[in-house]
Chains A and B, each alone.
Chain A
């Protein structure tokens, strides 16, 4: 299996970081006027780091990811990839989207991965398909390499998209709530598998999510974003001991982030730790919006 080419993964502390977001502000026009989605956000991601960008819907985290991917221009500030400013989309920042229709319906699972490899890495047909089959197997789609996307379940489509992103071996992987449209059981399993893949390949990741437990499980570092406009509210390092659900460290960190997001701890916050954090968070976010 091909390893990352040297230019894509410099040793830590060697040259500029894989991703540097410098005082980025993102505005867009609507009929009602100018909306500031993200205001003056700065952070860097080091090689091998997995940064989870956590926040409620509408906090601008997906907009920020799209700007990093090159689909949106920054209103001010700069986004740098290994020091070079981002100007357009490119396979050095492979994106896994939330939506299931990110796969090309006219190509099989292996075909989708191989096409990305041909375009992004300039590989030949035979070699790209060989690697594509290998990657399909690594995400548990070995038996479905020749299946067309419309015959796959949502979870399998996301696996294929993840395999496609990893196969290209980008400088950084951008994940835009890739599991948000999956059922709770599939989501848990995919989180574990993604974590295993990341640790195995040492991939650098920017992972956008609105679920605290997901951010803690997948990320090595968590940035909490606050909405209207989107800003960085707090930053947490996630030690390896706090990565596993059900451990005291995990619970403590989850509670801490919850309190940071929802302000002064509400009386329910004590019981909330034992409840599934996701539904709880959803509920509370809606309430605060309505008030």
Chain B
């Protein structure tokens, strides 16, 4: 937005392009590089060309294989993400309201945040067996700690005057958290949600590849894994492309919109 106002106020330059156009040009450039390198390599077992990948993507979309895999993955992802957000909300609310809660959060995040979710897979398998529950468990782990940390940092950064103004008009306990702390910390919370989403996605794909082999309802990771073992490299790339496209869509549709409607409008953007 600021860019467009800048370019209209400045004298019109002959080759000014907006940020969208710039991104599109870069994407097309990357696709061209990919295509030409793959053609030069001439080995579609190692690296299928961009067009071959698109064809494989289209095939798998049409025969219902990919949509089914995406549905399975997204179902597990959203479940884990939702539970992770809920737990993060509870633990940061505790931390905001009491010193014990704050120490608990500090200690737990210090202990578990550096622990890779994949390292918990063996434990998850022991506890929940092979299946969706184990995947949800590791996703919750990968979302919970970074999100709780971001929320807590956001709460702590709320200016003391604003806190006092909130308590002055009678906000206490839950109404203080919901009516003051959460909106005031929203920039940090949003970036925590973004981070959590990316972590959850990565963890899911990786986890599916590790033990998707015996899961009947495999997701995208399973799709990539199976196609690699069958040397269907174009399908592998189609799977990877799907992961990227979903990530881009969520980023630009969900998070960018949330950002524009809230922190940007309120002048709170960090």
Chain A residues with CB under 8 Å of chain B are 66, 69, 71, 88-91, 93-95, 97, 99, 101-106, 115-116, 119-120, 148-151, 161, 164, 168
Between B161, B169, B183, B266, the greatest number of chain A beta carbons within 10 A of the residue's beta carbon is seen for B169
Question: How many Å lie between the Cα of A97 and that of B168 in the bound state?
Answer: 11
Q: Is there contact, CB below 8 Å, between B168 and A91?
A: yes
Question: How many Å lie between the Cα of A119 and that of B168 in the bound state?
Answer: 10
Question: How many Å lie between the Cα of A120 and that of B162 in the bound state?
Answer: 16
Residues of chain B within 8 A (CB-CB) of A168 are 169
Q: Is there contact, CB below 8 Å, between A102 and B165?
A: yes
Q: Tell me whether chain B's interface is mostly helix, strand or loop, or mixed.
A: helix
Q: Is there contact, CB below 8 Å, between A91 and B169?
A: yes
B residues 51-85 touching A (CB-CB < 8 Å): none
B167 within 8 Å of A (CB atoms): yes
Between B164, B175, B180, B265, the greatest number of chain A beta carbons within 10 A of the residue's beta carbon is seen for B164
Q: Is there contact, CB below 8 Å, between B167 and A71?
A: yes
B159 within 8 Å of A (CB atoms): yes
For this complex, 25 residue pairs linking A to B, each with C-beta atoms less than 8 Å apart, are: A69-B168, A88-B167, A89-B170, A91-B170, A95-B168, A97-B161, A101-B159, A102-B161, A102-B164, A104-B166, A104-B183, A105-B184, A105-B266, A106-B183, A106-B184, A106-B262, A119-B175, A120-B169, A120-B170, A148-B265, A148-B266, A149-B267, A150-B267, A164-B169, A168-B169
Question: How many Å lie between the Cα of A91 and that of B172 in the bound state?
Answer: 12
Between A88, A104, A120, A151, the greatest number of chain B beta carbons within 10 A of the residue's beta carbon is seen for A104
Question: How many Å lie between the Cα of A115 and that of B166 in the bound state?
Answer: 10
A99 nearest CB across to chain B (Å): 4
Q: Is there contact, CB below 8 Å, between A95 and B164?
A: yes
Question: How many Å lie between the Cα of A99 and that of B131 in the bound state?
Answer: 55
- Which residue of A88, A106, A119 contacts B169 across the interface (Cβ within 8 Å)? A119
Question: How many Å lie between the Cα of A190 and that of B184 in the bound state?
Answer: 28
B96 within 8 Å of A (CB atoms): no
| Other A-B pairs, 17, CB within 8 Å; known A91-B168, A95-B165 | A71-B164, A88-B167, A88-B172, A89-B164, A89-B168, A89-B170, A97-B161, A102-B162, A104-B165, A104-B183, A105-B184, A105-B267, A106-B186, A106-B266, A120-B169, A150-B266, A151-B267
